[in-house]
């Protein structure tokens, strides 16, 4: 299917080879109708949708007395172009109830014209999220990975997939028993979807979720990978390394999140949009040596035990979200309690006694009378 997108002022409509018009919910759409030119006084136009009157024009003016209530204040003809044979209708602020087949009837002294215009409506899915497992609480498998979206129309397609580190797809490793998808609707009738995937192992695999709205040619990909566990010691500077390659970084947003206990909330450590970072921790900059690579490593200075926990790098754009989770484990050197003066005297006495005994034993051995 080939989609061609036209933008007219604030209008957005899509025409295609299958003969219908696609309108985007809450936007305006133009329904086309053409006929032979004539004097304005001699032209009659009726737009209908099933039994409903959408818009009428005759006697050189709009005739809206019988217009259906659903279309009040939302329709308009291009009056200055009617005599040239343009009877197209502008329908504003469309919603789900506007979907259907519209009929344009036009009459002039030269004849009668009729044009059927199927209208399909759609809305891009928003709030596209991939929520990784809480790796601080996963003692045994399975763990749960969540993929969700809302505000879309019409229905979606959702596909889970796993990819090994060697790049091989594992399409057959996910069964219907592994996933649970729930679908609901908001007050406007738009779809809300949430899918949970049970995963049995987190190493050497990337988990992917793809959501598509075929009508609007929208495709979003979310992925999550467990990077592994990194050890360190208190007082060190720790770098959680990650290099991201992308041909188009214009709309990238990079966020590092941290949580140190199973039930704690995630804290944003740093954000990077374009080449501007925030907060104290360093996100990294775009290397000048490689045009399409971003160093999004996180640098933690003089770490403490409280810095142990789960670190997730989130790389988002309009069409994708990529998550990478690291577990940081920190340890400290054992602390020796300071000696008191009484303990020191006791230790010195014992050492002196041992040295005295050794000296006497040596004397007896080497200087025994013959």
Transcribe 218-271 into DSSP letters.
Answer: EEEEEEEEEEEEEEEETTS-EEE--EEE-S--TT-EEEEEEESSTTSPPEEEEE
Three-class SS of residue 29? strand
Position 140 confidence tier, pLDDT thresholds 50, 70, 90? low
Position 290 confidence tier, pLDDT thresholds 50, 70, 90? very low
Measured in whole angstroms, the distance separating CA 281 from the mean position of its chain's CA atoms is: 24
Gap between the Cα atoms of 272 and 366, Å rounded: 79
What is the token pair recorded at 205? 């695999």
Three-class SS of residue 82? helix
| Sequence-separated (6 or more) residues with CB below 8 Å from residue 349 | none
Residue 10 CA: distances (Å) to CA of 28, 94, 284? 7, 13, 39
Helix H or strand E segment including 360: helix 341-366
What is the token pair recorded at 258? 């941290």
Res. 7: pLDDT tops 60 = no
Q: What is the pTM of this model?
A: 0.76
Domain annotation for the chain: domains and CATH numbers: 21-122 (2.60.40.10), 126-331 (2.60.40.10)
Could you tell me if 342 and 246 are in contact, meaning their C-beta atoms sit under 8 angstroms apart? no
Residue 132 CA: distances (Å) to CA of 53, 143, 321? 51, 9, 11
Position 225 confidence tier, pLDDT thresholds 50, 70, 90? very high
Instruction: Encode pLDDT of 174-209 as tens digits.
Output: 666 678 999 999 999 999 999 999 887 676 789 999
Position 117 confidence tier, pLDDT thresholds 50, 70, 90? very high
Cβ-count burial 60-92 (b if 16+ within 10 Å, e if not): eebebeebbeebeebbebeeeebbebbbbbbbe
* Over residues 11-27, mean pLDDT: 68
pLDDT of residue 232: 92
Instruction: Encode pLDDT of 301-336 as tens digits.
Output: 899 999 999 999 999 988 999 999 999 999 886 655
């Amino acid at each position: 299917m080939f989609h061609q997108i036209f933008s007219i002022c604030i209008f957005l409509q899509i025409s295609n080879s299958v003969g219908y018009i696609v309108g985007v919910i809450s936007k305006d759409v133009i329904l086309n109708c053409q006929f032979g030119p004539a004097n304005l006084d001699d032209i009659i136009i009726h737009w209908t949708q099933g039994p409903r009157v959408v818009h009428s024009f005759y006697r050189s003016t709009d005739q809206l007395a019988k217009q259906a209530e659903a279309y009040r204040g939302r329709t308009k003809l291009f009056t200055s172009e009617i005599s040239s044979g343009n009877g197209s209708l502008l329908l504003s602020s469309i919603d789900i109830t506007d979907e259907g087949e519209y009929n344009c009837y036009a009459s002039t002294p030269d004849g009668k014209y009729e044009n059927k215009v199927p209208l399909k409506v759609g809305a891009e899915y928003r709030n596209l999220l991939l929520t990784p497992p809480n790796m601080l609480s996963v003692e045994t498998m399975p763990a749960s990975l969540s993929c969700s979206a809302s505000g879309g129309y019409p229905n979606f397609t959702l596909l889970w997939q796993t990819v090994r580190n060697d790049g091989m797809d594992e399409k057959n490793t996910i069964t219907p028993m592994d996933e649970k998808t729930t679908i609901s609707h908001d007050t406007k009738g738009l779809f809300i979807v949430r899918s949970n995937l049970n995963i049995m192992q987190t190493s050497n695999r990337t988990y992917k979720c793809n959501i598509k709205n075929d009508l609007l040619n929208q495709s979003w990909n979310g992925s999550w990978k467990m990077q592994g566990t990194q050890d360190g010691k208190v007082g060190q500077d720790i770098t959680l390394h990650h290099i991201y390659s992308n041909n188009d970084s214009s709309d990238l947003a990079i966020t590092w999140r941290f949580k140190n206990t199973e039930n704690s909330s995630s804290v944003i450590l740093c954000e990077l949009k374009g080449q501007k970072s925030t907060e104290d921790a360093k996100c990294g900059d775009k290397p000048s040596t490689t045009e399409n690579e971003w160093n999004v490593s996180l640098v933690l200075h003089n770490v403490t035990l409280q810095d142990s926990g789960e670190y997730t790098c989130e790389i988002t754009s309009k069409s994708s979200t990529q998550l990478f989770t690291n577990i940081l484990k920190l340890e400290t050197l054992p602390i020796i309690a300071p000696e008191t003066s009484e303990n020191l005297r006791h230790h010195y006495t014992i050492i002196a006694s041992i040295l005295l005994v050794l000296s006497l034993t040596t004397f007896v051995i080497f200087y025994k009378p013959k």
